[in-house]
Structure 1
Amino acid sequence: MNNMNPSDLALLPILEALIEERHVSRAALRLNRSQPAVSHALARLRDLFDDPLLVRGEGGPQPTARALQLAEPLAEALALVRSMIEQPAFDALQCSRHFRLSLSDYGAAILLPRLVARLRTSAPLIDLTVISYGRERALTALVDGEIDLALGVYPALDQARYKDLGSALLFEETFACLHDETVLAGSLSLDRYLERPHVRVTVALEDDSEIDDALARLGHKRRIAVQIPHWSAAPEMVRGTDLVLTAARRSIAHLGTGGLRCNDLPFQMASFPFVQTWHRRREMDPAHRWLREQIAGIVSGTSKPTSLDLLRPMHEA
């Protein structure tokens, strides 16, 4: 390591952002600095540590072994310094940030209108970009720093590769099925359910289906006649056809009118958690934490979560 001047200490937060974001542009956005300024700082850091720190790799820039070695002691040192400095109270009205969220059609329908309405009144300078990623893609994007928050159903969260992701339960959901009574009168027995063709909604083909997994455990398989990425189009495909749609109850319960009928499943399935998840590097970011609180508050019907336990990583609970 080359000699460090006192003025070089100001580069350490930039190094932290570069290691975590793995991208000069994202680090600049996070630090509210220009990209040339961060590039210049990276050049000086490379000279100080006699290491490239970020190198081109598969999927974009990747930290070197030396950078990964520095990450933990750097985070601890900066956390200690920050804890010594009294932070001003967070002011949502004055917060100018851009957050990137991953939401499915379903998640967007039940959360996004209320979240946007709240932001427009409480934090009008906060901007959102909403992306619809598959489950695995969303978690990978969180790890890579490509998005700030993902909301949905993520069974893989307990895997070791996602140990740095924290999660908060928003609500427990159950499955129900929708069919057109003018074509298929009455409730659905398991035999009638299996005889009918089905609509499956999935953003990514590789995402697992809890419904098909549950049927397989019972020794059954349904026929998927139509597979689409958009939940909003699915109910109208059921209307006037023999198709059956199995989906989260919140998304179809209100549609059980005008010929359509919403039924319980004709087989047992456990409820499943709908969560918000983020990378722990965002854990204490005041704006990010405020946004998570607003989302939890929307679901619970309050302005904020009733307990800070909502903010604990699920894998630590």
Structure 2
Amino acid sequence: MSITNVDLNLMVVLHTVLAERNVARAADRLHVTPSAVSNSLARLRDLIGDPLVTRKGRGIVPTPRAIELAPRIAKAIGELESALLAAPFDARTCTRTFTLAVADVGQVTWVPRLAGAMMNEMPLAHLRVVGIDALVSLGDLTSAEVDVHVGIPSKDPGLHAQRLFQERSVLVARRGHRILDAKPSRRALGELRHVRVDMVPGKNFRDAFAATFAKAGIARAIVMTVPTFTTAAEVVARTDLVTMLPTSLFEAKGKSLGLRAVAAPLPAHGIELAMCWHERTHADPAARAFRDLVRRVVGESTP
């Protein structure tokens, strides 16, 4: 006998009949008619090949086979009910693994604070942080691999997005670079050689701050492409190349790397960053608690 051929409602009927030892009381408890209970028992007799119960006065008497089945059916129904009636979410006892996808800027500037908050509020949970390249390779938020993405919001169907903050950009060069001697002209800016950030080649995760030069009508001479802003910052710190960095990363690492902001006549440009998640986790209490934690930490880490 295959479980796929069994109407599991019949097991609920048998469980109730055996508990009540009376067809009428079982029907009342199940909110059906006595004839419906009798029909279900008839189907079970054909399925199992046993009478299951016999009448005795106004009640019923189970057969040996029914007595053998009773505790097993009761246990199975009890476990199913427990599974469906989830206990209230408790962050202190949560053992889930939460996967956050974020670019290297967030990994440097606020993920360490998130780790501390997780240790305090979800001490048994596991935090997994992946980059944007991993986000793409894992199938984005439509897969079950990633819970939250913080970055440029996607407009794909089935996704939710909540704005977090606006990240502005700054043109940076190493300490002692000639471009820092005076306020540079448009011509001097056009002669600079740049490091560009391309997080996932061939995908829509290129340097969003390139629009700053585009708005100014100044062409950029790209001589090097790297996958992260932190790599771009390290390269610029050791060469005469320049790059556009998110302001938050420049404030966090610029001084230690010896980087300086270029006072360039460029239009202000910022990108809206949001927290994104898929509909599949929207109502999940644990996922919702994790998103609340991310939202709070990012808010505390940005001006």
Segments ≥4 residues shifted beyond 6 Å: none
- Counterpart of 2:244 (choices 227, 243, 246) is 246
2:113 is aligned with 1:111: no
User: Equivalent residue of 1:174, what SS?
Assistant: strand
CA distance in 1: counterparts of 2:211 and 2:290, whole angstroms? 34
Give the TM-score of the pair, scaled to structure 2.
Answer: 0.64
Confirm or deny: 8 A CA contact 1:165 1:280 kept in the other structure. yes
Give the TM-score of the pair, scaled to structure 1.
Answer: 0.61
Confirm or deny: 8 A CA contact 2:135 2:146 kept in the other structure. no
Segments of 5+ residues of structure 2 without an aligned counterpart are 12-80
Aligned partner of 1:221 in structure 2 is 219
Aligned residues: 223
CA pair 277-264 structure 1, distance change in 2 beyond 3 A:
farther
CA distance in 1: counterparts of 2:175 and 2:271, whole angstroms? 28
Deviation at 1:186, TM superposition (A): 3.1
Confirm or deny: 8 A CA contact 1:101 1:147 kept in the other structure. yes
Deviations 1:142-166 (A, max 9, x none): 1132311111124xx23xxx12100
CA pair 96-265 structure 1, distance change in 2 beyond 3 A:
farther
- Counterpart of 1:182 (choices 176, 193, 206) is 176
Aligned partner of 1:194 in structure 2 is 190
Q: Rg bigger for which structure?
A: 2
CA distance in 2: counterparts of 1:235 and 1:222, whole angstroms? 17
Segments of 5+ residues of structure 1 without an aligned counterpart are 10-81, 303-317
User: Equivalent residue of 2:110, what SS?
Assistant: helix
Aligned partner of 1:172 in structure 2 is 166
Deviation at 1:252, TM superposition (A): 0.7
Aligned partner of 1:230 in structure 2 is 228
2:136 is aligned with 1:142: no
Confirm or deny: 8 A CA contact 1:178 1:260 kept in the other structure. yes
Deviations 1:56-75 (A, max 9, x none): xxxxxxxxxxxxxxxxxxxx
Confirm or deny: 8 A CA contact 1:256 1:262 kept in the other structure. no
CA distance in 2: counterparts of 1:267 and 1:226, whole angstroms? 22
CA distance in 2: counterparts of 1:210 and 1:164, whole angstroms? 24
Deviation at 1:258, TM superposition (A): 7.6
Q: Percent identity?
A: 26
CA distance in 2: counterparts of 1:174 and 1:97, whole angstroms? 34
User: Which deviates the most, 279-288 or 260-269?
Assistant: 260-269
Deviations 1:206-235 (A, max 9, x none): 234333345445544211222111332322
User: Which deviates the most, 260-269 or 188-197?
Assistant: 260-269
